[in-house]
Amino acid sequence: MPAISAGKVLVTGANGYVAAWVVKALLEQGFAVRGTVRSDSKANHLRSLFKSYGDKLEFAIVNDIVKEGAFDEAVKGVDAIAHTASPFHTHAEDPSELIVPAVQGTVGILSSALKHGSSVQRIVVTSSCGSILEELPVPKTFTEADWNERALREVETKGAAASAADKYCASKALAERAAWKYWNDHKGEVGWDLVVVNPSYVYGPILHEVDKPEHLNESMRMFYDAAVAGTYDKDMLNWGSSWIDVRDLGLAHALAVKTPEAGGERIIVSQSVFKLQDFVNVAHRLYPQLPAGDTDFNPATAVYFQAYDTSKVRKLFGIKLHTIEEMVKDSLEDFKARGWIQ
């Protein structure tokens, strides 16, 4: 059960929303970090944010994770890898726009680690609860045994006409399956093992560089549109799933690198169910100038469809998770400090 308690961790897509918190958690746990970014200028913000860590943080340029051998140089000399880079957006026409980078990026880093990562002992792949959940007409508590077969079928049969959510979920399910297959096919040849982290929707304050709300990552843009801009109708405000605080997810990645027993595990990382209106209610209470949203919403009668069994992550990592109050409050304080809330 390889895992590391010290050394250097490669974090892919380091300038992303989740990855910036992964970098922070790893540095705080005493690791050195090499982050990949598409161009050197994309590293400047993180360099300045973490300057107190000096040469414990360095960067490598990987301008397209799809390219053959993209990670061949970046994996050299690292002890573990956290692969977070993957597209998450809702504007893909053809599903391949998401599926190709998700799958090839994942297989690419594993094969670079096989060929050039002689010191690598553990690889953590950021998958998603999107590869687990299925849109069902009845509520369900999903476990690590579930796979989103429905999204895979939808994308296979409908192609570009599949929903944006199904295209994204299929990209994550296919990438995760490819990771497990690669590891099973090659585990006799490598000195590392594989951990897959499956977060639900991720919310919470921002560390990475964002100049305006329109440029927020997908999940936090939804949060902003619901709680601050007030651009969602009742149907959208009554949409929900399950969520996790980005700070807890960052820490979960660091613990996935460190915890021997996590090897070979698929791990759901999730706090609890939500509807966007639950976030709006907390936000409106804290900042009465923000929209009230759907004032008819009653959390006691709302139906929460996608819950998760989180016994594995609690047993393995025992993280005290941020509450909805803390997540909303800290996200709004972050927005306020950026001048996005008057």
CB of 172 to ligand NDP, least distance (A): 6
Pick the binder of ligand NDP from 106, 219, 241, 242 (CB under 6 A). 219
Q: Could you give the CA distance from residue 52 to residue 259 in angstroms, rounded to a whole number?
A: 26
Between 65 and 78, name the residue whose CB sits nearer to ligand NDP. 65
CB of 45 to ligand NDP, least distance (A): 11
**What residues contact 65, with CB distance under 8 A and at least 6 apart?**
12, 13, 71, 85, 86, 101, 104, 105, 108, 109
Q: List, in sequence order, every beta strand (DSSP E) within the chain.
A: 8-12, 32-37, 57-61, 80-83, 122-126, 140-142, 193-199, 201-203, 240-245, 266-269, 272-275, 306-308
Between 31 and 59, name the residue whose CB sits nearer to ligand NDP. 59
Between 5 and 63, name the residue whose CB sits nearer to ligand NDP. 63
Judged by CB under 6 A, the chain residues 68 through 127 that form the site for ligand NDP are: 84-88, 101, 126
CB of 76 to ligand NDP, least distance (A): 18
Pick the binder of ligand NDP from 8, 9, 10, 13 (CB under 6 A). 13
Q: Could you give the CA distance from residue 290 to residue 178 in angstroms, rounded to a whole number?
A: 43
Name the 3-class secondary structure at 88. Answer: coil
Instruction: Kindly tell me the burial class for residue 127, based on how many C-beta atoms sit within 10 Å of its own C-beta (0-12, 13-18, 19 or more).
Output: buried
Between 13 and 293, name the residue whose CB sits nearer to ligand NDP. 13
CB 141 within 8 A of CB 23: no
- Residues forming a β-bridge with 194: 123
The mark string for 36-65 relative to ligand NDP (x by CB under 6 A, - otherwise) is: --x---x-------------------x-xx
* Stretch touching ligand NDP by CB under 6 A, among 10-18, 138-146, 279-287, 321-329: 10-18
Pick the binder of ligand NDP from 133, 202, 252, 327 (CB under 6 A). 202
Q: Could you give the CA distance from residue 172 to residue 166 in angstroms, rounded to a whole number?
A: 10
How many residues sit in the footprint of ligand NDP (CB under 6 A)? 27
Residue number with the smallest Cβ distance to ligand NDP: 16
Judged by CB under 6 A, the chain residues 155 through 174 that form the site for ligand NDP are: 172
Name the 3-class secondary structure at 123. Answer: strand
- Residues forming a β-bridge with 11: 35, 82
Q: How many angstroms from the chain centroid is the CA of residue 232?
A: 24
Between 201 and 279, name the residue whose CB sits nearer to ligand NDP. 201
DSSP 126-140: E--GGGT----SS-E
CB of 188 to ligand NDP, least distance (A): 28
* Stretch touching ligand NDP by CB under 6 A, among 109-117, 214-222, 278-286, 327-335: 214-222
Binding of ligand NDP at residue 28 (CB under 6 A)? no
DSSP 53-74: GGGGEEEEE-S-TTSTTTTTTT
CB of 105 to ligand NDP, least distance (A): 6
Between 78 and 222, name the residue whose CB sits nearer to ligand NDP. 222
Q: Could you give the CA distance from residue 97 to residue 162 in angstroms, rounded to a whole number?
A: 13
Binding of ligand NDP at residue 199 (CB under 6 A)? yes
Q: Could you give the CA distance from residue 82 to residue 26 in angstroms, rounded to a whole number?
A: 10
Between 118 and 144, name the residue whose CB sits nearer to ligand NDP. 144
Binding of ligand NDP at residue 329 (CB under 6 A)? no
What backbone torsions phi and psi does residue 81 show, to the nearest 5 degrees?
-135, 135
By CB under 6 A, name the binding residues for ligand NDP. 13, 15-19, 38, 42, 62, 64-66, 84-88, 101, 126, 128, 172, 199, 201-202, 217-219
